[in-house]
Structure 1
């Protein structure tokens, strides 16, 4: 996929109940995109039009029903892996094998080089060769940019609604210790198992982790960062040790998914963060908790500069969505999907068996 530069145009329609100035509107409603000085810079650069006319006066009054368009400056998106393998597909859904480093939904620097954009491109290509327009599949859950493996997407509105409900319902339910130790997960209509590589040697063969997960304010993460917190929502994980690499001082484990970043946080909580995790350290907290000054700090395009601290989307950790079992959203049939384990997450024994098989 060749490198390219895109200009993002954000179109917004607003019906203002009271009169407001251009700078007041953007600095109040879109403070996550840029600080006050950043929006002043964008307006004076002629990047915002009101009702089709470029407006450089920050104090211009807006009327009810004003049409505002913000023209984002050109930027070059970083190179990413883009190969998406299809693991399963029918009329209602499609399961993809997402590579590590590819973002699922547009955000930040990645607006075009995402899974969603590829799905839209696939659909447009099918529509051009078909009489009927083909709607693009839509991801019904997210995988972190650095996480590889199974990504489930819906091809119909009914499938989207039901699959999203499966994930939401599964996240809200926490099994008790007795059930999770028995491997019983009857309350969930969808269950996903991950392969992970953690730092250090886990001595026990199985570990059950009970650690609530909450949120804190964190620079560069508008909605807050998930961390281990006594005041957070309950979360329970069962870790199964697959193999210990004493020489490499790391452990290969299997673990089920749950709340956002639950795997990364829970493994860090027990002193075994994911190998290469740039964000979470022992205790389930970020490496840095102090805040970056951002009030008077803005980048060349007016937005916030990237924080010096690591962010949740940073890659480097070893995590792979390996298996998925779910009730089909249309037929209620039990579907099992498996994504091949990447070489970086294969145990020494698996690599040895693979070498022996190919030789």
Structure 2
């Protein structure tokens, strides 16, 4: 099998500045016959979407005129519903948190694009980030091109930087998704060496800043967590299998941290953060996960029902949430078959942030910069 290594980055960047406010959102529902016990518009929203806002928050949203029934704005929370009614809730535009927008293209062919995602940029819409996402930038920058509508085929955490693969065609999306799914499906509870074999089609190598590390094989599951509607991923014996291979690159005794290389076969959410924390070595600066692979202390039953924002929704929780940044994790290298010619291998590398470079790598880069100048 021959190998195609990408040339040095072409320094081609895409990205448009974010507007001050996003466009808000519209959520559509149809009242079904099974919703017969939800007689009023307030009953409907405060019951079906209680994780979005408390009861008083939905009262506020209705009185603001943010709800339509069959195309008509209603402001009375006691307005009666009937089966088949079409409801629309308009979430008010808001200023999303400051977010980088520039994306460097590391590799591109007819089927895919490999981007260098900056830390702080969310990949897909969720929570406070509905417009300021990598997906939005792809839509803005490629939306007018008839033959190309690239979409991400996997995710990186908002605070994670590095390589993100995007498919340009439906066939490429299907193939890449299959590569990622195959790697995850191979992880079970059998022989570790067999699971770490070279049979999988895609290889993902990360850099991270942590402390003394060994190979980690710990299931990852979900627990209830305030501010995270679908629950928080943590180290859990009842969770799904997950495997990370970790190698120490360099220890810094003065800063009491270690630079590590991590290769993951499975792709569980926040896998590297959870696994390193599970072994007692959370990522330096991680605001959420602590030793044991669990979140910092919190009481999931304490929710301040009065603490809602201007449009009636819950305010951001006081405790850390998965999208918070501050840690150092970088998707450094990806290797996979060329989608048109599987006998060839494509290797993509994203430049390392200075804090994730070994001393020899930093010295080599400094020497290279001096030669250029």
Relative to 1, partners in 2 of residues 1:356 and 1:78: Cα closer, same or farther, differing over 3 Å?
same
Relative to 1, partners in 2 of residues 1:191 and 1:27: Cα closer, same or farther, differing over 3 Å?
farther
How far residue 235 of structure 1 moved from its aligned partner, in angstroms, is 1.9
2:221 is equivalent to residue 214 of structure 1:
yes
Q: Corresponding residue for 1:243?
A: 250
**More divergent stretch after superposition (78-87 vs 284-293):** 284-293
Q: Corresponding residue for 1:43?
A: 62
Q: Which one of 182, 187, 190 corresponds to residue 169 of structure 1?
A: 182
SS of 2:204 mapped into structure 1: strand
How far residue 289 of structure 1 moved from its aligned partner, in angstroms, is 3.4
2:362 is equivalent to residue 343 of structure 1:
no
Contact 2:281/2:291 (CA < 8 Å) preserved in 1?
yes
| 1:85-96 superposed matches below 5 A | 85-96=104-115
Using the alignment, how far apart are the partners of 1:17 and 1:87 within structure 2?
A: 52
**More divergent stretch after superposition (113-122 vs 103-112):** 103-112
Relative to 1, partners in 2 of residues 1:209 and 1:349: Cα closer, same or farther, differing over 3 Å?
same
Gaps of 5+ in 2: 1-16
- 1:187-241 CA-to-partner distances (Å, cap 9, x unmatched) read x22221101111x4x2x7xx21121211111111111111111222222221111
Using the alignment, how far apart are the partners of 1:231 and 1:254 within structure 2?
A: 27
| 1:49-64 superposed matches below 5 A | 49-64=68-83
Contact 1:15/1:64 (CA < 8 Å) preserved in 2?
yes
Q: Which one of 7, 10, 14 corresponds to residue 30 of structure 2?
A: 14
Contact 2:92/2:311 (CA < 8 Å) preserved in 1?
yes
**More divergent stretch after superposition (19-28 vs 262-271):** 19-28
Using the alignment, how far apart are the partners of 2:52 and 2:66 within structure 1?
A: 14
| 1:54-93 superposed matches below 5 A | 54-93=73-112
**More divergent stretch after superposition (346-355 vs 214-223):** 346-355
Q: Corresponding residue for 1:288?
A: 297
2:361 is equivalent to residue 354 of structure 1:
no
| 1:203-352 superposed matches below 5 A | 207-257=214-264, 258=266, 259-291=268-300, 292-332=302-342, 333-352=344-363
Relative to 1, partners in 2 of residues 1:233 and 1:59: Cα closer, same or farther, differing over 3 Å?
same
Q: How many residues align?
A: 345
Contact 1:239/1:255 (CA < 8 Å) preserved in 2?
yes
Contact 2:333/2:347 (CA < 8 Å) preserved in 1?
yes
Contact 2:18/2:101 (CA < 8 Å) preserved in 1?
no
Q: Corresponding residue for 1:179?
A: 194
Q: Which one of 105, 130, 133 corresponds to residue 114 of structure 1?
A: 133
How far residue 299 of structure 1 moved from its aligned partner, in angstroms, is 2.2
How far residue 249 of structure 1 moved from its aligned partner, in angstroms, is 1.2
Q: Corresponding residue for 1:141?
A: 154
Using the alignment, how far apart are the partners of 1:171 and 1:106 within structure 2?
A: 24
Q: Corresponding residue for 2:121?
A: 102
- 1:282-321 CA-to-partner distances (Å, cap 9, x unmatched) read 1111112322314454222211111111010000000000
Using the alignment, how far apart are the partners of 2:365 and 2:112 within structure 1?
A: 32
| 1:149-160 superposed matches below 5 A | 149-160=162-173
Relative to 1, partners in 2 of residues 1:78 and 1:269: Cα closer, same or farther, differing over 3 Å?
same
Using the alignment, how far apart are the partners of 1:157 and 1:17 within structure 2?
A: 37
How far residue 327 of structure 1 moved from its aligned partner, in angstroms, is 2.8
| Deviating 4+ runs (over 6 angstroms) | none
What is the TM-score normalised by the length of structure 1? 0.89
Relative to 1, partners in 2 of residues 1:158 and 1:346: Cα closer, same or farther, differing over 3 Å?
same
Relative to 1, partners in 2 of residues 1:122 and 1:7: Cα closer, same or farther, differing over 3 Å?
closer
Gaps of 5+ in 1: 128-132
